Amino acid sequence: MKHLSQILGSALLLPALAVGPAVAASLVAPVEAPALAVPVAANCNAVAQQVGAQYGGRAKGTAETRGGQEVCVVVVVVEGKKGERGQRIEVVVPAK
């Protein structure tokens, strides 16, 4: 007994096969996501952690394009001492 997905899948492929095998293959082939989408964001978070540790504060990294280049913009917040106001430090690091 065929499952509903097998019946629907074969029904959807019949019109595509009538066009030709090359066109049918392109209609069925999965589309891959861009390769750099996830690693750049993950890299920015790692860079933010390193920069935050260097300055002794909390950091957040954001991937941006500046001047046509991918960069990580890291904002570090360092708490003030003895009730003084904290510092906000922005560091721009080229994405690798």
Q: What per-residue confidence (pLDDT) applies to 82?
A: 87
Q: What per-residue confidence (pLDDT) applies to 83?
A: 86
d(CA 72, CA 42): 10
26-74, pLDDT tens digit by residue? 455 555 544 444 455 668 999 999 999 999 999 999 999 999 999 999 9
- Kindly tell me if the per-residue pLDDT of 6 is higher than 70: no
Give me the residue spans of the domains in the chain.
Answer: 1-31, 37-94
Give the pLDDT band (50/70/90) at residue 17: very low
Cβ atoms of 78 and 89 within 8 Å: the answer is yes
Residue with tokens 């082939």: 29
